[in-house]
Amino acid sequence: MSMLVAKNWLLARLYEQDQVIVDCRFQLGKPEVGRQAYDAGHIPGAVYLDLEADLSGPVQAHGGRHPLPELTALEERLSRAGIGPQTRVVAYDDQGGMYAARLWWLLRYAGHEQVYVLSEGFSAWEAAGYPVNAEQQVVIPQTFTAQPQRGMWADVSEVREASAAGAHGALLVDSREAKRYIGEEEPIDARAGHIPSAVNRFWKEVLDERGAWKSEAELREHFADIIQEAEEGRDVVVYCGSGVSACPNVLALHHLGYTNVKLYPGSWSDWISYEENPIAVGN
C-alpha cells in the first residue's frame, strides 16, 4: 500500500476502530496556532500532536532546533494518543505535509509501519465538503513500544564522512529553499550555506500546483538523478534546517521504494553547532 492516501480513501474509513487520525498542523514561530486551528475544527476523531511539545525533544547545545524526542517520551506521547502496535495511523496538516511527514518518519523510526500521510491538507478536505467538527476525541490510551530502526537516520559523524568522501560516500540532499542552500539568505539559522558535497532538492517540489503530493511518475522524474544513485547502491542522507522539512523528501523516496534513504535529524542547525564543520556556499 502507498504511504500517501487520498482524502476519499480516508473518508471511506473515517470511523474504523483500528485507526488513529493525527492532526499535525503547526506554524513555526507561532506554536499556539496549530492547536488553535485544531480546536476550531478538525477531521472527526482526530487527535492533535504538536511538533515541538510532542514530536521533538528539548533543544540543547547540539542536535538542532527540533531534536528527536527521547524514545521513552515518544512512547508515552504515542500511547496517550491511542496508538498501539496494531493501530493504523493517518497524519495530516495544512502545510504541504511537512509536519505530518515528521510524524510518519518518527513512527517508522520507532518500528511502526502502518502510518500514512494524507496527500492533501486539511483545507482541501474542508473545501471538498467532507465532515469537520470541533469535538475533543475521547482517547483510550494504548501501549506503544518503540523498536528503533537505526538504519533510518544518520548522525553528524556519518554526515561528516559522507561530505568528505564526496561522490564516494553517501549522497547528501539539502531540502531547503535554493536561496538558503547557496547561502544567499538565511532567515532562521546563525550561519548560511550548505554541507559540502550536498545537492539541493527543495521539499515543496514534491507538491503539485494545488498543494497536493505529486503522482509517483512525477516524483520519479523529480528525483531521477537521486534515484539513479540509490539504485546503484549509494546511500542517501536527507537534511533541512532542523530535521522537519526533510521528512517529505525522505517519505517520497521511501514511497517510491528506496529504503536506503536516511534522515539527518539535527540537519543544518546541528551541523553549524560544531565550529569545526565546513560550510559551502554557491551551487
Active site residue 240: yes
Q: Could you tell me the three cell numbers for 256?
A: 517510491
DSSP secondary structure string for all residues of 101-167: HHHHHHHHHTT---EEEESS-HHHHHHTT---B-PPP------------GGGB--HHHHHHHHHHGG
3-state secondary structure of 42: strand
Q: Could you tell me the three cell numbers for 194?
A: 550548505
Indicate the pairing of strand 88-92 with strand 115-118.
Answer: parallel
* Contact status, residue 103 vs residue 50, Cβ threshold 8 Å: no
At 145, the amino acid letter reads T
Question: From the candidates 115, 207, 240, 244, which is the catalytic residue?
Answer: 240
Just list the catalytic residues.
240
